Structure 1
Amino acid sequence: MASEGELIYEGSNFFRQRLTLATLCGKPIKIKNIRTSDAEPGLKEYEASFIRLLDKLCNGSQIVVNDTGTSVLYKPGILMGGQLDHSCSNQRAIGYYLEPLFMLSPFCKNPVIITLTGVTNNKVDPSIDMIRTSMLPVMKKFFGTDDELSLKLVKRGLQPGGGGTVTFTCPIRRTFRSFQWLESGRVKRIRGVAYSSRVAPAVTNRMLDAAKKVFATFLTDVYFTVDNAKGKSPGFGLCTVAETNKGSYLSAESISNPPSDDVDIRLPEDIGQEAAWRLLEEIYRGGCVDSLCQPLVLLFMILTSKDISKIVLGPLTPYSIHFLRHIRDFFQVTFKIDEYQDNADLFSDGDKEAEEKEFRCGEKKLVLTCVGIGYTNVSKGQI
């Protein structure tokens, strides 16, 4: 809904999507009725922290929050970037803030070097390990180089204590080229990291043994590293990533429950098996990128030069579906979505009825096509 040049939304859903896209296209937005019916109405601590992060990243932004925190008026400024520090709320993980940073950082005036402190792993947001093994290779594919693009985990911190530190470095680009990404390939190896904090080192070995038993049924090239940290809060988890022969990465993770009186303690064997089965589910869904990277790729597709871009994805997540709707609102771009037909997956034994039947490996795939808007990093050329 638009009024006098600004977009108006209601509710707290997809808060980051709306502010991130508004920053890129330069349109002011107003979000009202934020949790008005809740016992604690208004913005949460982590949402206020995200607004402060945007304010640090941009110059000239106008942010107006009413007294109750149930209404936000945001007029974006110019993306400046530079060397920044930000203390994230422990209510959400650092991955909550990194996802929009991956979308905004390439279009800043100065290369981004930002240090984030807070929770590195929780049960809700993507962990630093997932982002590093899944989203970072996608960014490198668009940049065409590994230079100056990095995500370093300096110190691990689990909920509720946090205390983790992450450094993200991203160069800037003036434009992105259109692309055709239609082959995801077959899985050739599985990698991952088993991490723990303030628990016995044997816990990581138990997770690894459980996960390897699941993967051993399918392939033998499975290797994990171990990270036994000394954080503020106890916990453990396993991040797994599958690499294909076409350069695609699919990731999944499982983590123990935070220490609390009202949650059950999970065994390391359960964590290992759950991480393995989640990765197998991602492989079954298929696509050139996993569920985590879908919004990032969709955004970069519309920001490319004025040419056609295509990509093959697995079933769209609800988050990605709403992201497509917001892209339509902010950039007036819609995608053409077709069912993917792979002739290599068609088998026939000469029977006419069998020829009409189609055998597919995994879930049905989608081909998403759009024409880029020719987005240019205007901040890069300004003095």
Structure 2
Amino acid sequence: MILIDGSYLEGGGQIIRTSIALSAITGKPVKIENIRAKRRVPGLRAQHLKGIEATAELCDAELKNAKIGSTSIEFIPKKVKGGSLSINVGTAGSICLVLQTLVLPSLHAEKEVVLEIIGGTDVKWSPTMNYFKHIFSYFLSKMGIEIFVETLKYGFYPKGGGKVKVTIKTCKEIKPINLIERGEMEKMDVRSIASELLRKRKVAERQTEGSKKILKFENEIISYVPSLSPGSSINAHAHFENCKLGASELGERGKLAEKVGEEAAKSLVKQIDSNACLDEWMADQILPYMALAGNSKVSVAEVTNHVRTNIWVIEKFLPVKFEIDETNKIISCQKI
């Protein structure tokens, strides 16, 4: 059984998600201790537990001590079956963070996996569904992985109630990637979404106006959506010949919509100025897929503690070695 110290480096939920996903796909049992030990409220939260339970259902895993607040769990997987799964994360628990646990094992399932997940689509401390659809899934498609995303309903904090349908095709052979040079910029687009409850205040339009103070976007997509709680988000994307960069911001009570858009655009400028192929959020998310593909290399906007933590976990499960070129911010992975 592989033993993982959940307090390592950033010591957050990412250690749980990566460990459980790799346990399921490799068939290696795992014990995670000191779960979220550095957090104000340590132990498993609802969205971590839902991700673990759903992955366990996917591969008939035996779970030990998996409950809210638990600081130590064991996950003993069997074969990944595939099929359809319905998950309710509860209120505005992040749908994207649950997906981070489920996508990887789904690739080695006996048949395609169809997930229907209820929870938060655009919530704090998590990628938005539009980031998952337009950035995360885009990079995985370069590795031969097919993911189809339908956002059926948006869910904002605190009530959530968003709903997505995600279909993940099996993929036993992941293609290596080599993304160092991004090529010429082709276009930029911005997607501004707000609850119908905020239409009168023109929140979606105002977010876009704020972003346009900083950058010129070729395409603007403005949407108002039904939701249980009022909320908004904006996603800005820069398209290059070889890659795509993204940045997102969420609306907040008391923050001007224009300011939200401005912050998203400034965040995208930071990613563009890095000259990297992967933005700082994609940098750690791509790593397990690079490890399964082997012999891959990417340039990243930032080498974060999330990156270092994920590498540490991955190397415990798979016969790979990562190297980080700190000067040029290039991460490479070789099979050993």
Give the TM-score normalised by structure 1: 0.79
Aligned residue in 2 for 1:250: 245
Correspondence 1:271 to 2:257: no
Contact residue 287 and residue 365 of structure 1 kept, 8 A: no
Mapped contact 2:321–2:335 kept (Cα < 8 A): no
**Is this contact kept in 1: 2:32–2:73, CA < 8 A?**
yes
Matched-pair contact (CA < 8 Å) for 2:300–2:331: yes
Q: Does 1:303 align with 2:292?
A: yes
5 Å matches for 1:144-223? 149-197=147-195, 198-201=197-200, 202-216=202-216, 221-223=217-219
Residues in 2 aligned to 1:66 and 1:119: alpha-carbon distance in whole angstroms: 22
Instruction: Give 1:109 deviation, angstroms.
Output: 1.3
Return closer, same or farther for 1:284/1:327 CA change in 2, 3 Å cut-off.
Answer: same
Aligned residues with identical type, % of pairs: 25
1:319 is matched with 306
1:366 aligns with 2:290: no
State the secondary structure of the residue aligned to 2:276: coil
> Structure 2 matches for 1:58-97, cutoff 5 A?
58-59=59-60, 61-65=61-65, 69-97=70-98
**Corresponding residue number in structure 2 for 1:280:** 269
Aligned equivalents of 1:267, 1:330: Cα separation in 2:
45
Equivalent residue number for residue 234 of structure 1: 230
Deviation at 1:335, TM superposition (A): 1.6
Q: 1:315-340: per-residue Cα shift (whole Å, max 9, x none)? A: 2121111111111222242223336x
> 3-state DSSP class of the match of 1:370?
strand
* CA RMSD across the alignment: 2.4
Amino acid at match of 2:255: R
Separation of aligned partners in 1, 2:138 and 2:250: 23
Give the superposition deviation at 1:40.
Answer: 6.1
- 1:291 alignment partner, SS class: coil
Partner amino acid, structure 2, of 1:65: N
Aligned residue pairs: how many? 328
More moved, 50-59 vs 190-199: 50-59
Distance 1:271 1:140 in 2: 30
Q: Which runs of 5+ in 1 are unaligned?
A: 258-263, 340-363, 374-383
SS of the residue 1:120 aligns to: coil
8 Å CA contact retained: 1:113, 1:170: yes
Instruction: Give the Cα–Cα distance (whole angstroms) in 2 for the partners of residues 80 and 325 of structure 1.
Output: 28
How many angstroms apart in 2 are the aligned matches of 1:206 and 1:274? 13
Contact 2:20–2:101 at 8 Å: present in 1 too?
no
Distance 2:37 2:210 in 1: 45
| CA separation of 1:42 and 1:209: change in aligned 2, threshold 3 A | closer
TM-score (norm 2): 0.89
**Is the CA contact (8 Å cut-off) linking 2:190 and 2:208 kept in structure 1?**
no
The offset of 1:96, in angstroms, is 0.9
Residue by residue, what CA displacement relative to the aligned partner does 1:1-51 show, whole Å, maximum 9, x if unpaired? xxxx43242446322122122222222222234467988664222222122
Distance in 2 between residues matched to 1:223 and 1:89, nearest whole Å: 34
- Partner residue, 1:112: 113
Relative to structure 1, the CA distance from residue 334 to residue 234 in structure 2 (aligned partners, 3 Å threshold; closer, same or farther) is same
Which ranges of structure 2 fall in alignment gaps of 5 or more residues?
none
**Which whole-Å CA distance do the structure 2 matches of 1:325 and 1:44 have between them?**
23
CA distance in 2, matches of 1:38, 1:210: 34
Give the partner amino acid of 1:251.
G
Q: Do the aligned residues in 2 keep the contact of 1:310 with 1:370 (CA within 8 Å)?
A: yes
Q: How does 1:23-42 map to 2 (within 5 A)?
A: 23-34=24-35, 42=43
Tell me the SS of whatever aligns to 1:273: helix
The residue type equivalent to 2:203 in the other structure is V
Cα shift at 1:184:
1.2
Q: Secondary structure of the equivalent of 1:160?
A: coil
Which shows bigger deviation, 12-21 or 313-322? 12-21
SS at match of 2:213: helix
> What CA distance in whole angstroms lies between the structure 1 residues aligned with 2:260 and 2:2?
46
Instruction: Provide closer, same or farther for how the CA distance between residues 210 and 179 of structure 1 changes in structure 2, counting only shifts above 3 A.
Output: closer
Q: Is the contact made by 1:45 and 1:91 (CA closer than 8 Å) also made in structure 2? A: no
Residues 324-343 of structure 1 aligned to structure 2 (within 5 Å): 324-338=311-325
Is the CA contact 1:135–1:293 (under 8 Å) kept in the aligned structure 2?
A: yes
2:231 and 2:119 map into 1 onto residues whose CA distance is 15
- Change in CA separation of 1:155 and 1:71 when aligned onto 2, cut-off 3 Å: same
